[in-house]
Amino acid sequence: MTPIPSCSIVIPTQNRPKLLPIAVASALAAAPPDGEVLIVDDNSAPAAAANLSDITDPRLRIILNPGAPGVARARNLGLRNARADVVFFLDDDDRMHPHYCAHLLGDILPRHAVDYGHAAYALIKDGARLRRVTRGRTDGVIAKGASFRQQACGFGMGFWIRKSTYLAVGPIDETLDTNEDTEYLLRLQAAGKRAWFSRRVAVDVCLHSGGTDQGHLTERTSDLRRARGFAHILTRHHDYLATQPAMRRFMRKRIIKKAVRARFPEMAETTIRQEALALERLRLRAYFIVHCARAGASWTRLWRRVMART
């Protein structure tokens, strides 16, 4: 009988022939001797296996997404096929730090009853470190009363989850092509799951100006798509967000900011009008005006229209 790995590191990938081997090497360096690194090939051409043929480490497994491509589907495939209960995510253009898995498995999980978590990360652009990102958070269980910004995390930010938690909460929403991590975080919170934040840098999140493979997914996602993604989440989780005013405000602000950047004022206008509380509408109007001003003088007519209709 094959022993159960201590952890699984899932790397969804699509058409990253130059960057994927670097990500895989970092994952293998971070994985314990009894861990596994699981590559989910999301319809790459050529196949991801061709770019990893030089790696003979038995901890490496590669599976194919047999259906329509999509990062949410690829992550779900990875989680379903992971053999360990503790599953880490790593983007195929990022690098995991070698201490991360051992620190979580050896120091945190034996002492704390937590269900998922994430960590500080280093932002890297074209090989140069820009900054360390913690958002003011400290090591430990993330308090339920913490701001949504402090609770929020992307799947590429050293995210990990117990497979038992994933099976209880359900799969990542495959209908979303952006913000699927935010939507999943809301479900974890609504289910009362406990999160852990590690302040020590766990991953290098790499941004690329060009000359390698495609840029980081977040950079390539249009502002309008992201605004629509947040609007979908706001609608889907209306009842839960009604009890979480700070989270609801965060969502509305993100929609407004992205809609202004996309030059789609109608979405910002609708978002403001949907807020039932008059004081909140005033705050959102002010936020809209500020971002219109940042976008340029030609946007003055847009915030005047919103002021007139809301």
Residue 89 sits in a domain whose CATH number is 3.90.550.10
Same domain, 131 and 48: yes
Q: Which of 191, 213, 32 is nearest to 105 (CA)?
A: 32
Q: How confident is the model at residue 301 (pLDDT cuts 50, 70, 90)?
A: low
Residue 260 within a domain: yes
Query: What's the confidence (pLDDT) of residue 73?
Result: 96
SS3 for the chain is CCCCCCCEEEEEECCCCCCHHHHHHHHHHHCCCCCEEEEEECCCCCCHHHHCCCCCCCCEEEEECCCCCCHHHHHHHHHHHCCCCEEEECCCCCEECCCHHHHHHHHHCCCCCCCEEEEEEEEEECCEEEEEECCCCCCEECCCCCCHHHHCCCCCCCCEEEHHHHHHHCCCCCCCCCCHHHHHHHHHHHCCCCEEEEEEEEEEEEECCCCCCCCCHHHHCCHHHHHHHHHHHHHHCHHHHHCCHHHHHHHHHHHHHHHHHCCCHHHHHHHHHHCCCHHHHHHHHHHHHHHHHHHCHHHHHHHHHHHHHC
Q: How confident is the model at residue 289 (pLDDT cuts 50, 70, 90)?
A: confident
Residue 3 within a domain: no
Query: What's the confidence (pLDDT) of residue 300?
Result: 58
Query: What's the confidence (pLDDT) of residue 221?
Result: 61
Query: What's the confidence (pLDDT) of residue 219?
Result: 45
Same domain, 147 and 192: yes
pLDDT tens track for 264-281: 888 998 999 998 888 999
Which of 187, 218, 249 is where one domain is finished?
218
Contact by Cβ (8 Å): 63, 41: yes
Same domain, 209 and 228: no
Instruction: Check whether the bond before 46 is cis (ω within 30° of 0).
Output: yes
Higher-scoring residue by pLDDT: 247, 103 = 103
Tell me what the pLDDT averaged over the chain comes to.
89
Largest separation between any pair of C-alpha atoms in the chain: 70
Same domain, 204 and 289: no
Same domain, 139 and 232: no
How many whole angstroms separate alpha carbon 30 and alpha carbon 105? 12
Domain count, the chain: 2
pLDDT tens track for 75-130: 999 999 999 999 999 999 999 999 999 999 999 999 999 999 999 999 998 888 88
Q: Is the pLDDT of residue 6 over 80?
A: yes
Which of 176, 192, 218 is where one domain is finished?
218
How many whole angstroms separate alpha carbon 106 and alpha carbon 30? 13
Same domain, 81 and 150: yes
Residue 1 within a domain: no
Residue 101 within a domain: yes
How many whole angstroms separate alpha carbon 139 and alpha carbon 104? 12
Residue 237 within a domain: yes
Helices 245-261 + 265-274 axis angle, to 10: 160
How many whole angstroms separate alpha carbon 244 and alpha carbon 89? 27
Same domain, 98 and 244: no
Which of 154, 188, 218 is where one domain is finished?
218
Contact by Cβ (8 Å): 106, 32: no
Total residue length of the chain: 310
Query: What's the confidence (pLDDT) of residue 177?
Result: 86
Give the residue numbers spanning the domain of 256. 222-309
Same domain, 226 and 213: no
Same domain, 85 and 176: yes
Q: Is the pLDDT of residue 303 over 70?
A: no
Query: What's the confidence (pLDDT) of residue 302?
Result: 59
Q: Which amino acid is at 29?
A: A
> What percent of the chain is modeled with pLDDT above 90?
65
pLDDT tens track for 137-154: 889 999 887 877 778 889
How many whole angstroms separate alpha carbon 29 and alpha carbon 97? 8
Same domain, 38 and 88: yes
pLDDT tens track for 194-234: 999 999 999 999 987 655 455 544 444 689 999 999 999 99
Same domain, 178 and 228: no
Residue 37 within a domain: yes
The average pLDDT across 164-170 equals 98
Q: Which two tokens stand for residue 44?
A: 């790459």
Q: Which two tokens stand for residue 29?
A: 């360096």
Q: Which of 150, 149, 179 is nearest to 71 (CA)?
A: 179
Please report, for residues 18, 60, 141, 262, 304, the alpha-carbon distance to residue 195 in angstroms, rounded to integers and kept in the order given. Answer: 34, 28, 6, 33, 42
Residue 134 within a domain: yes
Q: Which two tokens stand for residue 53?
A: 């043929």
Residue 105 within a domain: yes
Same domain, 105 and 202: yes
